[in-house]
Amino acid sequence: MITDTAVSAMLAREEALFRQRNPNSAARADSGSRHWLNGVPMLWMSDWGTPFPLIMDKAQGATLTDIDGNSYADFCLGDTGAMFGHTPEPVVKAIAAQVARGTTTMLPSSDAAVVGELLADRFGLPYWQVTATASDANRAILRWCRAVTGRSRVLVFNRCYHGAVEDTFVTLKDGKVITSPSLVGEVRDLPLHTRMIEFNDLAALEQALADETVACVLAEPVMTNVGMVLPDPGYHDALRDLTRRTGTLLVIDETHCLSSGPGGYTKAEGLEPDAIVLGKPVAGGVPTSVYGVSEEFGQRIRDYLGRREQLGFSGIGTTLSGSALQMAAMRAMLENYFTESSFAPLIELARRLEGGIARLIEKHAAPWHVVRVGARVEFMCTPDRPRNGGEAYDMIHKPVDVAVHHYLLNRGVLITPFHNMMLICPVTTEADVNALLEGLDSCLAELGSPA
């Protein structure tokens, strides 16, 4: 049994220890806060729950070092942006070479043809486009879906996250779709054009698609942004079947689930989407995302463009997308890391981590559980597996998460903030995994012992 008293006692002590270990970060965070809006270059950098953000000195391999000289086994890996490790050598070399030859020209570089081939080969879809972020890729694909179907609505799942894509910022409240209260500065009535249901609810899906006004379903194959929610057996087959029957396009957002293998969850599980979005690590941390479409979807896009009088000003695309720098970095990543042989050891080590956490949960009789998708592992501080985003959201117990995160940080282990996600990269070692398991072991021993 883990009591609130044990959690608050741990958090108070660990916060004090955090301040003591990080005097330089405290001072630098304080002076940095003078000119950054809300104190940090990016708002969510202050959302870690720590008294102040740690200021990083360097990130190499699977290790972060802060400006107080503390080092961390990094299981967050830039929330997937560095999923193949920080500073992967082939990418460092490719970027350095490309920078010397020019970063961006608004024309294809000689790597473009090779990257197109590699994407088609790895992910099984023939036509691709590049953006700077996965948010942009999702926005673009929603537009194409609406354009070619002539339908205005999109469908997403409760508590999904697909980046800063306005259309997806709705939520279910008492069974009704509302604009997410957290969304800043939105003036449109988003539920007019976005339908939302719970993941794994086939009856709701059938009903939501029945009137054939939905352009596309946008889905993560496993929900990974509200803890982790696995699809029920057969759910993806039914999703594909229902979308096909109603003329609804199916877009799979692989930004996180590409931890499943070199062709993402889609290849690993034999999904047949009309489009795929791949974000974050595809260019080793150089801001890049891509989306790919099927033969048929590609033809519909070409037909649509053929019917337009004015080309250009499509509202799709940004200046630095498709740059020579992105292409060089992507080529190095796809050639060196998006391979079966590169993924196999990651998945094996992730399995070990999952097994180790499961054993600790049993040893301490903790009311927690652990799940995994490829090289991505998540423990949730609740005994039952959620079946959908609504259940997962209600289960996430913030104070215990924050206490555990502080405890691990103070012992040189960093996991993803907001929930308990851990990624294995090619240079994560057994020793890193053991450090995480030892940290969790002593943390659980303390949380579970009577005061």
* Closest of 65, 59, 62 to residue 22, by C-alpha: 65
Residue 420 contacts ligand PLP per CB under 6 A:
no
Tell me the C-alpha distance between 191 and 205, whole Å.
Answer: 16
Tell me the C-alpha distance between 370 and 277, whole Å.
Answer: 26
Residue 239 contacts ligand PLP per CB under 6 A:
no
Residue 285 contacts ligand PLP per CB under 6 A:
no
Helix, strand, coil % over all residues of the chain, rounded to 5: 45, 15, 40
Residue 279 contacts ligand PLP per CB under 6 A:
yes
Query: Which residue has the CB atom at the shortest distance from ligand PLP?
Result: 163
Q: Which of 220, 378, 391, 401 binds ligand PLP (CB under 6 A)?
A: 220
Strands 289-293, 127-131: pairing is: antiparallel
* Closest of 171, 154, 166 to residue 226, by C-alpha: 171
Q: Which of 14, 198, 201, 253 binds ligand PLP (CB under 6 A)?
A: 253
Tell me the C-alpha distance between 28 and 53, whole Å.
Answer: 9
Residue 428 contacts ligand PLP per CB under 6 A:
no
Smaller CB separation from ligand PLP, 172 or 228 = 228
Residue 274 contacts ligand PLP per CB under 6 A:
no
Tell me the C-alpha distance between 133 and 137, whole Å.
Answer: 6
Residue 139 contacts ligand PLP per CB under 6 A:
no
Compute the least distance from the CB of residue 163 to ligand PLP, in Å: 3
Q: Which of 161, 235, 291, 338 binds ligand PLP (CB under 6 A)?
A: 161
Axis crossing angle, helix 398-409 with helix 4-21, rounded to the nearest 10: 40
* Closest of 420, 409, 413 to residue 436, by C-alpha: 413
Residue 265 contacts ligand PLP per CB under 6 A:
no
Residue 259 contacts ligand PLP per CB under 6 A:
no
Compute the least distance from the CB of residue 341 to ligand PLP, in Å: 26
Residue 281 contacts ligand PLP per CB under 6 A:
no
Residue 416 contacts ligand PLP per CB under 6 A:
no
Tell which positions 355-374 bind ligand PLP, by CB under 6 A: none
Count of C-beta atoms within a 10 Å radius of residue 203: 8
Q: Which of 118, 134, 252, 333 binds ligand PLP (CB under 6 A)?
A: 134
SS3 of 111, please?
helix
Compute the least distance from the CB of residue 426 to ligand PLP, in Å: 21
Compute the least distance from the CB of residue 401 to ligand PLP, in Å: 17
What token pair was written down for 46?
């202050």
Count of C-beta atoms within a 10 Å radius of residue 223: 26
In 296-411, DSSP assigns E strands to 369-373, 376-380
| Only segment of 68-76, 100-108, 134-142, 297-305 that touches ligand PLP (CB under 6 A) | 134-142
Residue 142 contacts ligand PLP per CB under 6 A:
no
Tell me the C-alpha distance between 49 and 22, whole Å.
Answer: 15
Residue 163 contacts ligand PLP per CB under 6 A:
yes
Binding site residues, ligand PLP, CB under 6 A: 133-135, 138, 161-163, 220, 225, 253, 255-256, 279-280
